[in-house]
Amino acid sequence: MKRSSTRWIAQRLAQMLLVLWVIATILFLIFRLMPGNPLVAYIDPTFTMEQQRALIHEFGLDLPLWQQYLIFLKASATGDLGVSFFYRTSVSQLVWQMLPNTLILTLGAVIIAFVLGTISGAFLAWKRATAVESVGIPVALALRAAPEFWVGMILLAVFSFTFSWFPSSGTADAGAAYTSLWQQLTSPAFLRHLTLPLVTLVVYLQGLPLLLMRSNMLDVMEEEFVVMARMKGLPERRILLRHAARNALLPVVTAFALVVGYSLGGDVVVENVFSWPGLGRLLVKAVAAKDYPLAQGAFLLIAAVAILMNLAADLVYTWLDPRVSYAKR
C-alpha cells in the first residue's frame, strides 16, 4: 500500500509542476507580447534613450523570444523570479513575505467555511419541510449571490467605522510590527485585524458546502442503509451523524477543489477591501502599476497555493472513502 501511495503523490506533484509550467509560460507570453514598452513602469521620465536602451539590454529584453524564455525558465526553476520594477527588490523575496498573510486568511477561511457550511447544511437537511428550511435556503442563496467585496464593505462600514469594534485595514496597528510568525499568530491585535476579512471570506465560501451537504444528506437519508440503521434500533442522533452525515460528506470533500479555485479569487478581492498585505493585494498593485515581474511572481505563487490545496483535498478524500484506492487512480 505504501509504495503505491508514494507513487500516486509523486504523480500528482508531477502534474502540479506541469500546470505551473503551463501557467508560467502563458504569463511569460502575455507580458512579453504586450504592446508598448515593457519597462514603462521602471523607467523614470528623465531617462535618456541611451539609458533606456541600456536598461532593456540589462533586462535581456532585446534577446530573441525563445532565448528569453529559456532564461526565464532556468531562473524560475532556481527560485529567481526577477526584480520588481516598482520596488526594485527581488520578486521572490517580496512574494515570499506576503505569502503567510494570504495563507492564513485563505486557508483559515476555507476550513472554517467548510466546517460551518457542512454543519449548517446537515442541519437544514434535518429540518426539512419546516420554517427553518424555508428561511434558511433563500438566505443561503442570497449569501452566495452577494458580491464578496460588497459584504466586506458593509462589514467594514458597520463594524469598523460606525462601531469602532474592529480595525479597518492591515494586519497590525499603526506603527506596530510583529517579530515572528508565531508572535503574529498569537497576538490579539492580529486576530482583531483578521476578524473582518476572515468573516467576509467565510460568508462568501460557505454557500457551496452548505447547499451541497444539504442536498447530499437529503439523498443519503433515503438510502437503504439509513433505513436499516433505524430498523436496528440505533438512536436517531447516531444515525444522522455517523451514517448519514459521514456518507453525505464525501461529495462535499470533492467540492473542496472547486471551492479552492474561487477561494483565492475571493481572497484577492477581500485583501483589497481590507488592505490586507497579502499576495492578492500585491498582485493587483503590480498589475495596475504594470510591474510585470512582480505580477508574474505573485500569480505563480497564488497558482501554486491553489494546486497544493487541491492536492490536499484529494488526499483527504482518499482517506475518507474506502472505496477509492490509490491504485485505482
Partner 1 sequence: MGNTWGVLQHDRFALAGVCLYALFIAVAMAAPLLSSFDPQQTIMQGDQLMSNQPPGGTFLLGTTNVGRDIFTQLVYGARPALTVGFVAAFFVALIGTVVGIVAGFYGGWVDAVLMRLADVAFGIPFLPLVIVLVAFLGPSLWNIVLTMALLLWKDTARVVRAQVLTLRERGFVEAARVLGSSPRRLMLVHIAPNVLPIALLYGSLAVGWAILTEAAVSFLGFGDPMRISWGYMLQDAYISQALSSGQYNWFVPPGICIMLVVMAGYFISRGYEELLFPRLRRQ
Partner 2 sequence: MGLLTLEDLRVEYRTARGVSAAVDGVTLEIQEGEVLGLVGESGCGKTTLGRAIIRVLPRNGRIAGGRMVFGGVDLAALSEVEMRPYRWREIAMVPQAAMDSLDPVYRLGDQFAEVLTITGGLTRAAARARAGDLCDLVGLDRHRLAGYPHELSGGMKQRAAIALALALKPRLLVADEPVTALDVVVQHHILRRLRDLKETLSLSVLLITHDISVIAQTCDRMAVMYAGKIVEVGPTRDVFARARHPYMMGLQNSFPNLVHPQETLIPVEGVPPDLLNPPPGCRFAPRCPFAVEPCLVESPPLRELEPGRWAACHRAEEAETLRGQAQEAQRWRVPAL
Sites of contact with partner 1 (CB under 8 A): 16, 18-19, 22-23, 27, 30-31, 34, 141-142, 144-151, 153-154, 156-157, 160-162, 168, 218-219, 222, 257, 261-262, 264-266, 268-269, 272-273, 280, 283-284, 287-288, 290, 295, 299, 302-303, 306-307, 310
C-beta closer to partner 1: residue 184 or 229: 229
Using CB under 8 A as the binding rule, whether residue 322 contacts partner 2 is answered as yes
d(CA 303, CA 71): 21
C-beta closer to partner 2: residue 49 or 231: 231
d(CA 130, CA 290): 54
C-beta closer to partner 2: residue 150 or 225: 225
Closest approach, Cβ 176 to partner 1, in A, equals 21
Using CB under 8 A as the binding rule, whether residue 225 contacts partner 2 is answered as yes
**Percentages (nearest 5) of helix, strand, coil residues in the chain:** 75, 0, 25
Q: How many residues bind partner 2 (CB under 8 A)?
A: 21
Question: 117: closest CA among 221, 244, 256?
Answer: 256
C-beta closer to partner 1: residue 43 or 258: 258
d(CA 304, CA 16): 8
Written as one letter, the residue type at 203 is V
C-beta closer to partner 1: residue 146 or 315: 146
Using CB under 8 A as the binding rule, whether residue 232 contacts partner 2 is answered as yes
Residue 281, C-beta contacts closer than 8 angstroms, at least 6 positions apart? 98, 268, 271, 272, 275
CB 182 within 8 Å of CB 288: no
Residue 223, C-beta contacts closer than 8 angstroms, at least 6 positions apart? 247
C-beta closer to partner 2: residue 2 or 232: 232
C-beta closer to partner 1: residue 30 or 135: 30
CB 207 within 8 Å of CB 140: yes
Rg (alpha carbons) of the chain, rounded to whole number: 24
63 contact choice in partner 1, partner 2, none (CB below 5 to 8 Å, kind-dependent) = none
83 phi and psi angles, rounded to 5 deg? -120, 140
Binding to partner 2 (CB under 8 A) within 238-267 occurs at 238, 243, 246-247, 250
154 contact choice in partner 2, partner 1, none (CB below 5 to 8 Å, kind-dependent) = partner 1
132 contact choice in partner 2, partner 1, none (CB below 5 to 8 Å, kind-dependent) = none
d(CA 141, CA 146): 9
202 contact choice in partner 1, partner 2, none (CB below 5 to 8 Å, kind-dependent) = none
Among residues 89, 230, 261, 288, the one that binds partner 2 under rule CB under 8 A: 230
- Residue 90, beta-bridge partner list: 83
Look up residue 146 and give its three cell numbers.
Answer: 452577494
Q: Could you give the angle at the alpha carbon of 57 between the alpha carbons of 80 and 24, nearest 5°?
A: 35
Binding to partner 2 (CB under 8 A) within 193-212 occurs at none
Closest approach, Cβ 3 to partner 2, in A, equals 21
Count CB-CB contacts under 10 A for residue 143: 16
Binding site for partner 2 (CB under 8 A): 223-225, 227-235, 238, 243, 246-247, 250, 320-323
